Amino acid sequence: MDDATRARTIDGYAAGLSAVARAEGDADTVVDELFRIAGAFAQSTELRATLEDAAVPVDRKLGVVSDLLGSRASRVTVSLIEMLVSTGRIGEFGEIVARITELSAAAGDQIVAEVRSAISLDEATLDRLTEKLSVATGKAVSIRAVVDPTVIGGVITKVGDTVFDGSVRSRLQDLREVWG
């Protein structure tokens, strides 16, 4: 499949899944759950290998999804993931969810900011980040927080193609460059 066809396929799945999430009720919850699950999926080589393996029967893959998510995610979220597994599109899960997140934000006239930190950020911190990013971009901002132990300390924020790196690692690198 060429890049243009792949992009159209991802856009089509994202638009369809977004429509289902909106029709079924709380689209914000579904988008948030999908975002968090996609992050966990991206970090688990074993899970990806199992769900993407054509030799593993679909029923077994669906059982894995059910065992992992069970009642931890909404019925709609689990159904959407099961549909991706059943259609053989789970390998594109991260890309589809990224596009769903963009579509969801655009529907609410917002932009999405991905905030990576070593620890889970409290609501007050997320609210301050949202406010500062809204001022900086001139748009309403929807934050998707990701816990990423490789950050060590501070936060890395990505808004569209722009990255604001306030991590300890980048600050140490800046010091090394200044002090040689």
Q: Where are the domains of the chain?
A: 1-108, 109-180
Q: Which segments of the chain does DSSP mark as H helices, in order? A: 3-23, 27-43, 45-52, 58-69, 75-86, 93-107, 123-137, 168-179
Q: What contacts 115, CB < 8 A, 6 or more positions away?
A: 121, 126, 129, 143, 144, 145, 146, 155, 156, 157
Q: What is the pTM of this model?
A: 0.69
Identify the segments of the chain with pLDDT beneath 70: 109, 180
CA 76 to each of CA 19, 42, 64, 109, 156: distance values in angstroms, whole numbers, following the listed order: 12, 21, 17, 24, 30
How much is the mean pLDDT over the chain? 88
Can you tell me which residue has the tokens 């996609």?
38
> pLDDT tens for residues 65-96?
999 998 899 999 999 999 999 999 999 999 99
Tokens of 40: 């966990």
- Note the CATH number of domain 1-108: 1.10.520
